[in-house]
A and B are shown apart, each in its own frame.
Chain A
Amino acid sequence: MGRLSAAAAVVVLLGAWELYARAGGIDELVLPAPSAIGETLWTDRGLLAENFVVTATEIAGGIALALVLGCALAVALHVSRPVRGALYPLLVASQAIPIVILAPLLVIWLGFGVLPKLAIIALVCFFPVVVTTLDGLRAVDPDQRKLLRSMDASRTALLRFVELPAAAPAALSGARIAVAVAVVGAVFAEYAGSSKGLGHLMLQAVPQLETPRAWAAVVVLAAFSVTLFTALGALERRLTHNAGGSHS
Protein backbone atom coordinates (compact mmCIF):
# COMPACT_ATOMS: atom_id res chain seq x y z
CA MET A 1 0.00 0.00 0.00
CA GLY A 2 2.83 2.39 0.92
CA ARG A 3 4.72 1.48 -2.24
CA LEU A 4 1.61 1.84 -4.34
CA SER A 5 0.92 5.34 -3.06
CA ALA A 6 4.59 6.28 -3.47
CA ALA A 7 4.45 5.12 -7.09
CA ALA A 8 1.18 7.01 -7.63
CA ALA A 9 2.75 10.21 -6.22
CA VAL A 10 5.71 9.86 -8.61
CA VAL A 11 3.41 9.26 -11.61
CA VAL A 12 1.29 12.32 -10.79
CA LEU A 13 4.38 14.49 -10.31
CA LEU A 14 5.95 13.31 -13.58
CA GLY A 15 2.65 13.77 -15.47
CA ALA A 16 2.24 17.34 -14.26
CA TRP A 17 5.88 18.11 -15.05
CA GLU A 18 5.58 16.63 -18.55
CA LEU A 19 2.44 18.69 -19.31
CA TYR A 20 4.07 21.85 -17.96
CA ALA A 21 7.21 21.33 -20.08
CA ARG A 22 5.26 20.48 -23.24
CA ALA A 23 2.91 23.43 -22.90
CA GLY A 24 5.98 25.55 -23.60
CA GLY A 25 5.75 27.39 -20.33
CA ILE A 26 9.49 27.19 -19.89
CA ASP A 27 12.63 26.85 -22.02
CA GLU A 28 13.61 23.18 -22.35
CA LEU A 29 17.21 24.21 -21.70
CA VAL A 30 16.16 25.25 -18.23
CA LEU A 31 13.69 22.48 -17.44
CA PRO A 32 13.55 19.52 -19.80
CA ALA A 33 10.50 17.25 -19.86
CA PRO A 34 10.69 13.96 -17.94
CA SER A 35 10.46 12.08 -21.22
CA ALA A 36 13.61 13.83 -22.48
CA ILE A 37 15.39 13.07 -19.23
CA GLY A 38 14.28 9.45 -19.44
CA GLU A 39 15.67 9.20 -22.95
CA THR A 40 19.01 10.64 -21.80
CA LEU A 41 19.12 8.22 -18.86
CA TRP A 42 19.09 5.44 -21.44
CA THR A 43 21.39 6.91 -24.13
CA ASP A 44 23.97 8.20 -21.62
CA ARG A 45 23.79 5.13 -19.40
CA GLY A 46 27.47 4.29 -19.82
CA LEU A 47 28.59 7.82 -18.99
CA LEU A 48 26.21 8.06 -16.04
CA ALA A 49 27.21 4.67 -14.63
CA GLU A 50 30.90 5.50 -14.83
CA ASN A 51 30.45 8.80 -12.99
CA PHE A 52 27.91 7.32 -10.58
CA VAL A 53 30.48 4.84 -9.28
CA VAL A 54 32.82 7.76 -8.47
CA THR A 55 30.19 9.83 -6.65
CA ALA A 56 28.60 6.86 -4.88
CA THR A 57 32.01 5.86 -3.52
CA GLU A 58 32.58 9.40 -2.26
CA ILE A 59 29.16 9.50 -0.59
CA ALA A 60 29.36 6.05 1.00
CA GLY A 61 32.93 6.71 2.16
CA GLY A 62 32.02 10.15 3.48
CA ILE A 63 29.06 8.83 5.45
CA ALA A 64 31.14 5.97 6.86
CA LEU A 65 33.81 8.47 7.88
CA ALA A 66 31.16 10.71 9.43
CA LEU A 67 29.77 7.74 11.39
CA VAL A 68 33.19 6.86 12.80
CA LEU A 69 34.19 10.45 13.59
CA GLY A 70 30.71 11.39 14.77
CA CYS A 71 30.51 8.46 17.20
CA ALA A 72 34.03 9.13 18.51
CA LEU A 73 33.22 12.79 19.01
CA ALA A 74 29.89 11.97 20.66
CA VAL A 75 31.69 9.67 23.12
CA ALA A 76 34.25 12.40 23.89
CA LEU A 77 31.48 14.93 24.48
CA HIS A 78 29.57 12.41 26.56
CA VAL A 79 32.33 11.35 28.95
CA SER A 80 33.93 14.74 29.50
CA ARG A 81 32.00 17.75 30.64
CA PRO A 82 34.90 20.16 29.86
CA VAL A 83 35.18 18.77 26.32
CA ARG A 84 31.43 19.18 25.89
CA GLY A 85 31.57 22.75 27.13
CA ALA A 86 34.50 23.60 24.88
CA LEU A 87 33.51 21.82 21.68
CA TYR A 88 29.74 21.76 21.45
CA PRO A 89 29.36 25.45 20.53
CA LEU A 90 32.19 25.11 17.99
CA LEU A 91 30.45 22.09 16.46
CA VAL A 92 27.23 23.98 16.01
CA ALA A 93 29.14 26.95 14.59
CA SER A 94 30.98 24.66 12.13
CA GLN A 95 27.63 23.81 10.58
CA ALA A 96 27.11 27.45 9.66
CA ILE A 97 30.15 27.54 7.36
CA PRO A 98 28.88 27.27 3.79
CA ILE A 99 30.58 24.47 1.88
CA VAL A 100 31.25 26.80 -1.08
CA ILE A 101 33.56 28.81 1.16
CA LEU A 102 35.33 25.79 2.58
CA ALA A 103 35.61 23.65 -0.55
CA PRO A 104 38.42 25.61 -2.31
CA LEU A 105 40.49 25.51 0.87
CA LEU A 106 40.09 21.76 1.15
CA VAL A 107 41.03 21.36 -2.52
CA ILE A 108 44.24 23.32 -1.87
CA TRP A 109 45.02 21.22 1.18
CA LEU A 110 43.98 17.82 -0.11
CA GLY A 111 44.22 18.04 -3.90
CA PHE A 112 41.74 17.12 -6.63
CA GLY A 113 41.33 13.46 -5.76
CA VAL A 114 38.80 11.71 -3.60
CA LEU A 115 40.14 13.11 -0.30
CA PRO A 116 38.63 16.62 -0.33
CA LYS A 117 35.28 15.08 -1.34
CA LEU A 118 35.38 12.67 1.57
CA ALA A 119 36.31 15.54 3.87
CA ILE A 120 33.45 17.76 2.69
CA ILE A 121 30.85 14.98 2.84
CA ALA A 122 32.06 13.87 6.27
CA LEU A 123 31.95 17.49 7.41
CA VAL A 124 28.32 18.00 6.41
CA CYS A 125 27.32 14.54 7.68
CA PHE A 126 28.96 14.19 11.05
CA PHE A 127 26.81 16.75 12.82
CA PRO A 128 23.52 14.82 12.80
CA VAL A 129 25.47 11.71 13.79
CA VAL A 130 27.05 13.50 16.77
CA VAL A 131 23.72 14.90 17.94
CA THR A 132 21.70 11.67 17.70
CA THR A 133 24.53 9.52 19.12
CA LEU A 134 25.04 11.88 22.04
CA ASP A 135 21.31 11.75 22.76
CA GLY A 136 21.45 7.95 22.56
CA LEU A 137 24.37 7.80 24.99
CA ARG A 138 22.67 10.10 27.44
CA ALA A 139 19.32 8.31 27.22
CA VAL A 140 20.65 5.27 29.11
CA ASP A 141 18.52 4.55 32.17
CA PRO A 142 20.10 6.07 35.32
CA ASP A 143 19.19 2.89 37.21
CA GLN A 144 21.22 0.94 34.66
CA ARG A 145 24.21 3.14 35.44
CA LYS A 146 23.68 2.52 39.17
CA LEU A 147 23.57 -1.22 38.60
CA LEU A 148 26.88 -1.10 36.72
CA ARG A 149 28.42 1.10 39.40
CA SER A 150 27.38 -1.40 42.07
CA MET A 151 29.34 -3.96 39.98
CA ASP A 152 32.34 -1.60 40.22
CA ALA A 153 32.26 -1.04 36.46
CA SER A 154 34.86 1.37 35.08
CA ARG A 155 33.82 4.24 32.81
CA THR A 156 35.11 2.23 29.84
CA ALA A 157 33.11 -0.85 30.87
CA LEU A 158 29.94 1.23 31.19
CA LEU A 159 30.53 2.60 27.69
CA ARG A 160 31.42 -0.73 26.17
CA PHE A 161 28.70 -2.91 27.65
CA VAL A 162 25.82 -0.50 28.02
CA GLU A 163 26.07 2.95 26.50
CA LEU A 164 27.58 2.22 23.09
CA PRO A 165 25.29 -0.69 22.21
CA ALA A 166 22.32 1.34 23.44
CA ALA A 167 23.32 4.30 21.24
CA ALA A 168 24.07 2.31 18.07
CA PRO A 169 20.58 2.65 16.54
CA ALA A 170 20.65 6.38 17.29
CA ALA A 171 23.97 6.72 15.44
CA LEU A 172 22.47 5.04 12.37
CA SER A 173 19.44 7.26 12.63
CA GLY A 174 21.82 10.24 12.46
CA ALA A 175 23.51 8.71 9.41
CA ARG A 176 20.09 8.40 7.77
CA ILE A 177 19.48 12.13 8.24
CA ALA A 178 22.99 12.71 6.88
CA VAL A 179 22.24 10.91 3.58
CA ALA A 180 20.24 13.84 2.25
CA VAL A 181 22.97 16.40 2.92
CA ALA A 182 25.70 13.98 1.80
CA VAL A 183 24.42 14.04 -1.80
CA VAL A 184 24.34 17.82 -1.93
CA GLY A 185 27.76 17.90 -0.28
CA ALA A 186 29.17 15.54 -2.90
CA VAL A 187 27.90 17.71 -5.77
CA PHE A 188 29.39 20.86 -4.20
CA ALA A 189 32.67 19.06 -3.58
CA GLU A 190 32.88 18.04 -7.23
CA TYR A 191 31.94 21.55 -8.37
CA ALA A 192 34.92 22.85 -6.38
CA GLY A 193 37.35 20.82 -8.39
CA SER A 194 37.15 17.39 -9.96
CA SER A 195 37.57 15.51 -13.19
CA LYS A 196 34.84 12.92 -12.75
CA GLY A 197 31.65 12.18 -10.84
CA LEU A 198 28.00 13.11 -11.32
CA GLY A 199 28.54 16.61 -9.92
CA HIS A 200 31.33 17.14 -12.41
CA LEU A 201 29.04 15.81 -15.15
CA MET A 202 26.34 18.32 -14.18
CA LEU A 203 28.83 21.14 -14.12
CA GLN A 204 29.89 20.31 -17.67
CA ALA A 205 26.46 19.48 -19.04
CA VAL A 206 24.85 22.84 -18.30
CA PRO A 207 27.21 25.08 -20.37
CA GLN A 208 27.19 22.41 -23.11
CA LEU A 209 23.41 22.90 -23.33
CA GLU A 210 22.94 19.26 -22.33
CA THR A 211 20.43 20.06 -19.60
CA PRO A 212 18.69 16.65 -19.81
CA ARG A 213 22.04 15.02 -18.96
CA ALA A 214 22.38 17.17 -15.82
CA TRP A 215 18.84 16.20 -14.83
CA ALA A 216 19.53 12.55 -15.56
CA ALA A 217 22.44 12.81 -13.12
CA VAL A 218 20.05 14.32 -10.57
CA VAL A 219 17.66 11.38 -11.02
CA VAL A 220 20.49 8.90 -10.46
CA LEU A 221 21.60 10.74 -7.31
CA ALA A 222 18.06 10.94 -5.98
CA ALA A 223 17.53 7.21 -6.53
CA PHE A 224 20.84 6.52 -4.77
CA SER A 225 19.93 8.58 -1.73
CA VAL A 226 16.55 6.84 -1.43
CA THR A 227 18.32 3.47 -1.59
CA LEU A 228 20.92 4.46 0.99
CA PHE A 229 18.27 5.93 3.31
CA THR A 230 16.23 2.72 3.12
CA ALA A 231 19.27 0.51 3.67
CA LEU A 232 20.37 2.43 6.76
CA GLY A 233 16.79 2.36 8.05
CA ALA A 234 16.68 -1.41 7.60
CA LEU A 235 20.00 -1.78 9.46
CA GLU A 236 18.74 0.41 12.28
CA ARG A 237 15.53 -1.61 12.57
CA ARG A 238 17.58 -4.81 12.63
CA LEU A 239 19.65 -3.49 15.53
CA THR A 240 16.58 -2.33 17.43
CA HIS A 241 14.78 -5.57 16.70
CA ASN A 242 17.77 -7.55 17.94
CA ALA A 243 17.51 -5.50 21.08
CA GLY A 244 13.91 -6.65 21.48
CA GLY A 245 12.78 -3.08 20.95
CA SER A 246 9.28 -4.14 20.03
CA HIS A 247 8.70 -5.38 23.56
CA SER A 248 8.21 -3.06 26.45
Chain B
Amino acid sequence: MASAGGSLPRYIVQRVLLIVPMVLILVTIVFLLLRVAPGDPVSASVGGRLSEAAQAERRAALGLDRPLYVQYFEYLGDVATLQFGETISDNRPILDIVKENGGATLTLAVAAFLIALAIGLPLGAIAGRFRDSAGDVVIRIFGVITYAAPVFYWGLLFQLLFAGTLGWLPSSGAATPVTIFEVETKTHILLIDAIIAGDSDAVVDVLEHLILPAFTLGLLLSGIFIRLVRVNMLQTLQGDYIEAARARGIGELRVLRAHAYRNALVPLVTVIGLQVALLMSGAVLTEATFNWPGLGNELIEYINQRDYAAVQGIITLFAVVVVLVSIAIDIITALIDPRVRY
Protein backbone atom coordinates (compact mmCIF):
# COMPACT_ATOMS: atom_id res chain seq x y z
CA MET B 1 0.00 0.00 0.00
CA ALA B 2 3.03 2.26 0.17
CA SER B 3 2.46 5.26 -2.08
CA ALA B 4 5.20 7.44 -3.44
CA GLY B 5 4.59 10.70 -1.60
CA GLY B 6 3.44 9.58 1.81
CA SER B 7 3.19 13.13 3.08
CA LEU B 8 0.84 14.04 5.88
CA PRO B 9 -1.29 16.64 4.04
CA ARG B 10 -1.82 14.22 1.18
CA TYR B 11 -2.93 11.49 3.56
CA ILE B 12 -5.36 13.86 5.25
CA VAL B 13 -6.84 14.94 1.93
CA GLN B 14 -7.29 11.28 0.97
CA ARG B 15 -9.10 10.50 4.19
CA VAL B 16 -11.31 13.56 3.98
CA LEU B 17 -12.29 12.70 0.41
CA LEU B 18 -13.30 9.26 1.62
CA ILE B 19 -16.02 10.87 3.75
CA VAL B 20 -18.14 11.43 0.66
CA PRO B 21 -18.57 7.81 -0.50
CA MET B 22 -18.90 6.48 3.06
CA VAL B 23 -21.64 8.94 4.00
CA LEU B 24 -23.29 8.44 0.62
CA ILE B 25 -23.51 4.69 1.07
CA LEU B 26 -24.82 4.87 4.61
CA VAL B 27 -27.35 7.53 3.70
CA THR B 28 -28.49 5.52 0.68
CA ILE B 29 -28.93 2.40 2.79
CA VAL B 30 -30.96 4.31 5.37
CA PHE B 31 -33.09 5.93 2.67
CA LEU B 32 -33.78 2.69 0.82
CA LEU B 33 -34.60 0.82 4.01
CA LEU B 34 -37.10 3.35 5.21
CA ARG B 35 -38.69 4.16 1.85
CA VAL B 36 -38.91 0.74 0.24
CA ALA B 37 -40.57 -0.48 3.42
CA PRO B 38 -44.22 -1.43 3.06
CA GLY B 39 -46.85 1.06 4.14
CA ASP B 40 -46.25 4.77 3.86
CA PRO B 41 -44.80 6.92 6.63
CA VAL B 42 -47.78 9.23 7.01
CA SER B 43 -50.48 6.61 7.52
CA ALA B 44 -48.12 4.66 9.77
CA SER B 45 -47.56 7.54 12.16
CA VAL B 46 -50.74 9.62 12.10
CA GLY B 47 -53.11 7.17 10.34
CA GLY B 48 -55.67 6.93 13.10
CA ARG B 49 -55.80 10.64 13.85
CA LEU B 50 -56.21 12.36 10.50
CA SER B 51 -58.73 11.96 7.67
CA GLU B 52 -57.73 10.48 4.29
CA ALA B 53 -57.71 13.92 2.66
CA ALA B 54 -55.59 15.43 5.40
CA GLN B 55 -53.16 12.51 5.13
CA ALA B 56 -52.84 13.01 1.37
CA GLU B 57 -52.11 16.65 2.04
CA ARG B 58 -49.36 15.72 4.49
CA ARG B 59 -47.93 13.29 1.97
CA ALA B 60 -47.81 16.01 -0.67
CA ALA B 61 -46.29 18.47 1.79
CA LEU B 62 -43.56 15.98 2.66
CA GLY B 63 -43.04 15.16 -1.03
CA LEU B 64 -43.85 11.51 -0.52
CA ASP B 65 -46.16 11.40 -3.54
CA ARG B 66 -43.32 11.96 -5.99
CA PRO B 67 -41.18 9.29 -7.69
CA LEU B 68 -38.63 7.56 -5.49
CA TYR B 69 -35.56 8.85 -7.34
CA VAL B 70 -36.74 12.46 -7.06
CA GLN B 71 -37.15 11.96 -3.32
CA TYR B 72 -33.73 10.34 -3.13
CA PHE B 73 -31.88 13.19 -4.80
CA GLU B 74 -33.75 15.75 -2.78
CA TYR B 75 -32.87 13.85 0.37
CA LEU B 76 -29.20 13.81 -0.64
CA GLY B 77 -29.39 17.55 -1.17
CA ASP B 78 -30.91 17.97 2.26
CA VAL B 79 -28.20 15.92 3.91
CA ALA B 80 -25.49 17.82 2.07
CA THR B 81 -26.88 21.09 3.37
CA LEU B 82 -27.44 19.61 6.83
CA GLN B 83 -31.22 19.92 6.62
CA PHE B 84 -32.60 16.76 8.04
CA GLY B 85 -36.27 17.73 7.74
CA GLU B 86 -39.08 17.53 10.26
CA THR B 87 -40.74 14.75 12.19
CA ILE B 88 -44.13 13.60 10.94
CA SER B 89 -45.80 13.04 14.27
CA ASP B 90 -45.10 16.41 15.91
CA ASN B 91 -43.57 18.60 13.16
CA ARG B 92 -40.34 19.07 15.07
CA PRO B 93 -37.24 19.89 13.02
CA ILE B 94 -34.70 17.08 13.36
CA LEU B 95 -32.00 19.63 14.06
CA ASP B 96 -34.01 20.82 17.07
CA ILE B 97 -33.99 17.28 18.42
CA VAL B 98 -30.24 17.25 18.04
CA LYS B 99 -29.90 20.64 19.70
CA GLU B 100 -32.21 19.87 22.61
CA ASN B 101 -31.31 16.25 23.30
CA GLY B 102 -27.78 16.00 21.94
CA GLY B 103 -26.37 17.71 25.02
CA ALA B 104 -27.62 14.97 27.32
CA THR B 105 -26.12 12.26 25.12
CA LEU B 106 -22.83 14.14 24.92
CA THR B 107 -22.68 14.57 28.70
CA LEU B 108 -23.34 10.87 29.20
CA ALA B 109 -20.81 9.80 26.56
CA VAL B 110 -18.02 12.05 27.84
CA ALA B 111 -18.58 11.06 31.48
CA ALA B 112 -18.67 7.37 30.57
CA PHE B 113 -15.53 7.73 28.50
CA LEU B 114 -13.65 9.36 31.37
CA ILE B 115 -14.78 6.64 33.78
CA ALA B 116 -13.77 3.94 31.31
CA LEU B 117 -10.33 5.49 30.94
CA ALA B 118 -9.95 5.85 34.71
CA ILE B 119 -10.81 2.17 35.23
CA GLY B 120 -9.37 0.67 32.06
CA LEU B 121 -5.92 2.23 31.74
CA PRO B 122 -4.50 1.38 35.17
CA LEU B 123 -6.13 -2.06 35.38
CA GLY B 124 -4.97 -2.95 31.88
CA ALA B 125 -1.43 -1.80 32.63
CA ILE B 126 -1.31 -3.82 35.87
CA ALA B 127 -2.68 -6.93 34.16
CA GLY B 128 -0.13 -6.57 31.37
CA ARG B 129 2.85 -5.99 33.67
CA PHE B 130 2.02 -8.86 36.02
CA ARG B 131 0.99 -11.35 33.40
CA ASP B 132 -0.70 -14.55 34.63
CA SER B 133 -0.63 -13.38 38.24
CA ALA B 134 -3.77 -13.60 40.36
CA GLY B 135 -4.39 -9.90 39.72
CA ASP B 136 -4.16 -10.44 35.97
CA VAL B 137 -6.67 -13.28 36.11
CA VAL B 138 -9.13 -11.27 38.22
CA ILE B 139 -8.84 -8.25 35.95
CA ARG B 140 -9.33 -10.36 32.84
CA ILE B 141 -12.40 -12.05 34.29
CA PHE B 142 -13.74 -8.58 35.10
CA GLY B 143 -13.17 -7.69 31.45
CA VAL B 144 -15.06 -10.76 30.24
CA ILE B 145 -17.99 -10.07 32.55
CA THR B 146 -18.32 -6.46 31.44
CA TYR B 147 -18.57 -7.83 27.92
CA ALA B 148 -20.97 -10.68 28.68
CA ALA B 149 -23.44 -8.71 30.80
CA PRO B 150 -25.60 -6.38 28.70
CA VAL B 151 -25.27 -2.73 29.61
CA PHE B 152 -28.93 -2.55 30.66
CA TYR B 153 -28.40 -5.46 33.05
CA TRP B 154 -25.64 -3.48 34.78
CA GLY B 155 -28.03 -0.54 34.85
CA LEU B 156 -30.74 -2.65 36.45
CA LEU B 157 -28.37 -4.08 39.06
CA PHE B 158 -27.06 -0.60 39.90
CA GLN B 159 -30.61 0.67 40.26
CA LEU B 160 -31.47 -2.26 42.54
CA LEU B 161 -28.47 -1.62 44.76
CA PHE B 162 -27.90 2.14 44.80
CA ALA B 163 -31.41 3.43 44.17
CA GLY B 164 -33.41 0.59 45.74
CA THR B 165 -31.61 -1.08 48.64
CA LEU B 166 -29.25 1.73 49.63
CA GLY B 167 -31.36 4.64 48.40
CA TRP B 168 -28.26 6.76 47.75
CA LEU B 169 -28.83 7.80 44.16
CA PRO B 170 -31.80 8.56 41.90
CA SER B 171 -32.71 5.83 39.44
CA SER B 172 -33.81 7.80 36.39
CA GLY B 173 -33.86 11.11 34.57
CA ALA B 174 -31.17 13.76 34.18
CA ALA B 175 -32.26 15.89 37.16
CA THR B 176 -35.24 16.49 39.42
CA PRO B 177 -38.08 18.49 37.81
CA VAL B 178 -37.30 21.42 40.11
CA THR B 179 -33.74 21.66 38.81
CA ILE B 180 -34.86 21.38 35.19
CA PHE B 181 -37.44 24.09 35.80
CA GLU B 182 -35.13 26.47 37.62
CA VAL B 183 -31.96 26.22 35.58
CA GLU B 184 -32.09 28.53 32.61
CA THR B 185 -31.39 26.75 29.31
CA LYS B 186 -28.40 28.19 27.50
CA THR B 187 -26.22 25.43 26.11
CA HIS B 188 -28.71 22.54 26.36
CA ILE B 189 -26.07 20.77 28.42
CA LEU B 190 -27.70 20.70 31.82
CA LEU B 191 -24.50 20.41 33.81
CA ILE B 192 -22.94 23.44 32.13
CA ASP B 193 -26.18 25.42 32.40
CA ALA B 194 -26.33 24.69 36.12
CA ILE B 195 -22.73 25.81 36.55
CA ILE B 196 -23.38 29.01 34.55
CA ALA B 197 -26.40 29.71 36.74
CA GLY B 198 -24.16 29.30 39.79
CA ASP B 199 -26.75 27.06 41.41
CA SER B 200 -24.75 24.63 43.54
CA ASP B 201 -27.80 22.56 44.53
CA ALA B 202 -28.62 22.06 40.88
CA VAL B 203 -25.04 21.04 40.06
CA VAL B 204 -25.07 18.43 42.83
CA ASP B 205 -28.47 17.21 41.69
CA VAL B 206 -27.32 16.85 38.08
CA LEU B 207 -24.14 15.05 39.12
CA GLU B 208 -26.10 12.65 41.34
CA HIS B 209 -28.27 11.75 38.39
CA LEU B 210 -25.25 11.32 36.16
CA ILE B 211 -23.31 8.86 38.34
CA LEU B 212 -25.25 5.64 37.68
CA PRO B 213 -25.75 6.05 33.91
CA ALA B 214 -22.14 7.14 33.40
CA PHE B 215 -20.79 4.19 35.39
CA THR B 216 -23.06 1.78 33.54
CA LEU B 217 -21.87 2.92 30.14
CA GLY B 218 -18.32 3.38 31.40
CA LEU B 219 -18.07 -0.24 32.55
CA LEU B 220 -18.99 -1.45 29.08
CA LEU B 221 -16.11 0.51 27.57
CA SER B 222 -13.63 -0.17 30.37
CA GLY B 223 -13.59 -3.90 29.57
CA ILE B 224 -12.35 -3.10 26.09
CA PHE B 225 -9.73 -0.66 27.34
CA ILE B 226 -8.44 -3.22 29.83
CA ARG B 227 -7.99 -5.83 27.14
CA LEU B 228 -6.30 -3.43 24.73
CA VAL B 229 -3.95 -1.83 27.22
CA ARG B 230 -3.02 -5.27 28.55
CA VAL B 231 -2.15 -6.67 25.14
CA ASN B 232 -0.26 -3.54 24.10
CA MET B 233 1.62 -3.51 27.40
CA LEU B 234 2.62 -7.14 26.89
CA GLN B 235 3.95 -6.35 23.45
CA THR B 236 5.73 -3.17 24.47
CA LEU B 237 7.42 -4.81 27.44
CA GLN B 238 9.00 -7.30 25.06
CA GLY B 239 10.68 -4.49 23.14
CA ASP B 240 14.47 -4.27 23.10
CA TYR B 241 14.47 -0.69 24.31
CA ILE B 242 12.70 -1.78 27.50
CA GLU B 243 15.41 -4.29 28.17
CA ALA B 244 17.99 -1.62 27.36
CA ALA B 245 16.36 0.76 29.82
CA ARG B 246 16.36 -1.90 32.52
CA ALA B 247 19.97 -2.75 31.76
CA ARG B 248 20.92 0.88 32.24
CA GLY B 249 19.61 0.53 35.75
CA ILE B 250 16.52 2.66 35.39
CA GLY B 251 13.98 1.89 38.10
CA GLU B 252 11.15 -0.46 37.19
CA LEU B 253 8.45 2.11 37.90
CA ARG B 254 10.11 4.62 35.62
CA VAL B 255 10.59 2.04 32.90
CA LEU B 256 6.89 1.28 33.07
CA ARG B 257 5.73 4.87 33.21
CA ALA B 258 8.09 6.65 30.88
CA HIS B 259 9.12 3.93 28.46
CA ALA B 260 6.46 1.25 28.21
CA TYR B 261 3.14 2.85 29.11
CA ARG B 262 3.33 5.74 26.69
CA ASN B 263 4.13 3.52 23.76
CA ALA B 264 1.45 1.07 24.75
CA LEU B 265 -1.11 3.84 24.42
CA VAL B 266 -0.44 4.75 20.79
CA PRO B 267 -2.41 1.87 19.23
CA LEU B 268 -5.17 2.66 21.68
CA VAL B 269 -6.07 5.90 19.88
CA THR B 270 -7.08 3.97 16.77
CA VAL B 271 -9.10 1.48 18.68
CA ILE B 272 -10.82 4.14 20.75
CA GLY B 273 -12.05 5.57 17.47
CA LEU B 274 -13.52 2.22 16.53
CA GLN B 275 -15.38 2.16 19.84
CA VAL B 276 -17.53 5.12 18.84
CA ALA B 277 -20.01 2.73 17.25
CA LEU B 278 -20.12 0.69 20.45
CA LEU B 279 -20.43 3.86 22.51
CA MET B 280 -23.48 4.87 20.46
CA SER B 281 -25.19 1.50 20.81
CA GLY B 282 -24.39 1.52 24.50
CA ALA B 283 -25.64 5.07 24.92
CA VAL B 284 -29.02 4.21 23.36
CA LEU B 285 -29.44 1.33 25.82
CA THR B 286 -28.18 3.30 28.82
CA GLU B 287 -30.51 6.17 28.01
CA ALA B 288 -33.42 3.74 27.80
CA THR B 289 -32.43 2.17 31.12
CA PHE B 290 -32.19 5.43 33.02
CA ASN B 291 -34.81 7.37 31.09
CA TRP B 292 -32.00 9.73 30.16
CA PRO B 293 -33.31 12.51 27.88
CA GLY B 294 -30.79 12.01 25.06
CA LEU B 295 -30.90 11.25 21.36
CA GLY B 296 -31.19 7.49 21.86
CA ASN B 297 -34.27 7.91 23.99
CA GLU B 298 -35.81 10.19 21.36
CA LEU B 299 -35.02 7.64 18.65
CA ILE B 300 -36.82 4.88 20.53
CA GLU B 301 -39.77 7.16 21.21
CA TYR B 302 -40.12 8.08 17.53
CA ILE B 303 -39.77 4.44 16.54
CA ASN B 304 -42.65 3.57 18.82
CA GLN B 305 -44.67 6.31 17.13
CA ARG B 306 -43.62 4.85 13.78
CA ASP B 307 -42.34 8.24 12.68
CA TYR B 308 -40.22 7.39 9.61
CA ALA B 309 -38.98 10.92 9.01
CA ALA B 310 -37.67 11.25 12.56
CA VAL B 311 -36.06 7.79 12.51
CA GLN B 312 -34.46 8.51 9.14
CA GLY B 313 -33.17 11.88 10.31
CA ILE B 314 -31.70 10.65 13.58
CA ILE B 315 -30.14 7.54 12.04
CA THR B 316 -28.63 9.59 9.21
CA LEU B 317 -27.15 11.93 11.76
CA PHE B 318 -25.63 9.01 13.67
CA ALA B 319 -24.17 7.71 10.40
CA VAL B 320 -22.57 11.05 9.62
CA VAL B 321 -21.10 11.25 13.13
CA VAL B 322 -19.66 7.74 12.88
CA VAL B 323 -17.93 8.51 9.59
CA LEU B 324 -16.62 11.89 10.73
CA VAL B 325 -15.23 10.49 13.97
CA SER B 326 -13.53 7.58 12.26
CA ILE B 327 -11.86 9.93 9.77
CA ALA B 328 -10.83 12.30 12.56
CA ILE B 329 -9.27 9.39 14.45
CA ASP B 330 -7.38 8.29 11.34
CA ILE B 331 -5.90 11.74 11.01
CA ILE B 332 -4.97 11.94 14.69
CA THR B 333 -3.30 8.53 14.48
CA ALA B 334 -1.33 9.68 11.47
CA LEU B 335 -0.18 12.75 13.39
CA ILE B 336 0.99 10.63 16.32
CA ASP B 337 2.44 7.69 14.44
CA PRO B 338 4.33 8.46 11.22
CA ARG B 339 4.22 4.81 10.13
CA VAL B 340 0.52 5.12 9.38
CA ARG B 341 0.95 7.68 6.61
CA TYR B 342 1.54 5.22 3.87
Partners in one complex: no
Where the two chains meet, the residues of B that have a C-beta atom closer than 8 Å to any C-beta of A are none
